[in-house]
Every structure is written in C-alpha cells, then in structure tokens.
Amino acid sequence: MTPYPPTTRLLLRANGEELNTIIIQMSIALGILLAGIARYIVVERNSGLKHLQIISGMQLKAYWVGTFIFDFLKMYLTILMAIILWAAFDLDLNAAMVPLALLPFGALPFTYAFSFLFSSDAAASSITMFLHILILGILASITWTFRIAIPPFMKYGDSMHSWFWLIPAYNVGAAMFCDRQCDVLSDVRKSPVAEGPETDADKWAFPNITRDCLVMILHLVVWSIVIMMIEKGWLTICCPKSKAKKSQDAEELDDDVLKEA
C-alpha cells in the first residue's frame, strides 16, 4: 500500500528547518570572523599602531587596501569551505553560492566603517558578532517566514526584506531561502489567502538573487566612501574619541600625536 505523498506544507517545513540550521551555523562562523576583524581595527587605532604606520610614510589608501586584501583572503577560507560543503552534500544552494562568494566585498567595508563607532575593542567585537548572528541567523529566517507562511504578516515581511539588505550578511540568508523556495513563494502569493503582492518565481530575477549579488558591490562603494569621509574628518561626530592612555609627558608630544591619542 502506497502512503500519501507529503503535502506542500510539510515539505516547506522540512526544507525550512534544514535551511535554518545551515543559516544559523553560517551566522555564527561569519559573526566570529568579522568580530575578530573589527576588534583588530579598533586595537590598531587605540594602540597607535595605525598612527605609527602613517607617520612612517604609509598612505591611508595603502593601509586600507592592504588590510582589505589580508582580511579578504582570511575570510575566503571560510567561504570556500562552506561552498565545498554545500556542493559535496548536494544542498541545492548553487545560486546562493554567488552572493556568498561576493560577501567579503560588502561585509569587510561595512565592518571597517562600523568599527569607527567604538572606542573599545571588546565592544566592537561583541556587538559585531551579535549583529551578524541576529541579522543572518535570526531575522533572515523570521523575514522569510513572514513573507511565505503567515498571510497577515506578508506585507511586514516584504518591508523587513526591503530594509535588512542594508546589512550585507542578510543578503546571503535571503539568497539561500530564495534559492530553495522562490517558486514556492511565488505560488503562495498567487493564492486567494495571500495578503502580499505576487513575486517572481525565477530565482535570478532582479528582486531576488540578482539584487542580492549587486547589493554587495553597492556596499563596497558606499562604505568605502564612508571610510574615506571618516579619515578626512568629515564624519568625526559619529566616531568616539579613543580611550588610549595618555602619557604623563603629553605636553611634550607633537600636535598630530596628541590628536591621535
């Protein structure tokens, strides 16, 4: 006797639970990695190592390009391992690999600019890790659940989706859900009980994974400009003063050194 096939709701639930587990693990790994990067940026600024390099002749653009290349290579070890595991276990996340591969271009400049909000390396590390676990590991899942499974909250889910892309890591979670369930979302939105607008079933449509990929490049441009403005002193109101200890002989130091202290 042949049992009844699983319903769409059961398949959606099983698929979503598996994705939630993968996304939470990804958020923890990326959160820890970016927290270490943010902490080191603040430590270099507070300890005077960055200032020492600048007064020794290094240009600021060389400092940031070198930092980006080093962090990019370090971050890509984790990303490549994730892509290899996704392919090895046939997780059906082939399209989501593209925004994941582009994540360093958005996440690193965002983390650099975000680190200027902190004068404590411990606070920078903790809040950066918490932010990425919250956005990628929790809110990406909640947003997709609102959009696909709870009719009264579909419009709220769409609004959340329209705002959370401002955090680069969110776009990876959104792409992973879309890669697996964009066609299901499209079918759900066509039902009479749906309270949200219809969506495109094509995962590579612009509102879907294509946008998630392009957003990473947009983050690279925008946050690079923000960092440049901070370094030029145009956004100092957003940057707390360093809490580095001042020397007892501070009155003998040059003005540029006192400014950095």
Q: List pLDDT tens digits, range 183-215.
A: 989 999 998 888 889 999 999 999 999 999 999
CA-nearest of 74, 103, 50 to 257 is: 50
Asked if pLDDT for residue 13 goes beyond 70, the answer is: no
Cα angle: 157, vertex 159, 165; to 5 degrees: 100
**Domain tally, the chain:** 1
Instruction: Give the rounded distance of the alpha carbon of 145 from its chain centre.
Output: 20
Which tokens in the block code for residue 38?
């943010």
CA atoms within 13 A on the CB side of 99: 29
What mean pLDDT do residues 154-161 have? Answer: 94
Residue 1 forms part of a structural domain: no
Tell me which residue has tokens 């990067």: 37
Q: What is the CA radius of gyration of the chain?
A: 22
Instruction: Give the rounded distance of the alpha carbon of 109 from its chain centre.
Output: 10
Residue 2 forms part of a structural domain: no
Residue 19 forms part of a structural domain: yes
Residue 10 confidence (pLDDT): 54
CA-nearest of 143, 172, 144, 162 to 30 is: 172
Residue 55 forms part of a structural domain: yes
Residue 206 forms part of a structural domain: yes
- pTM for the whole thing? 0.85
Residue 92 forms part of a structural domain: yes
- pLDDT for 220-242, tens place per residue? 999 999 999 999 888 765 566 55
Q: Are the beta carbons of 33 and 72 closer than 8 angstroms?
A: no
Residue 160 forms part of a structural domain: yes
Residue 101 forms part of a structural domain: yes
- pLDDT for 34-54, tens place per residue? 999 999 999 999 998 898 888
User: Which residue range(s) make up the domain with 157?
Assistant: 8-260
Round to whole Å and give the CA distance between 87 and 119: 41
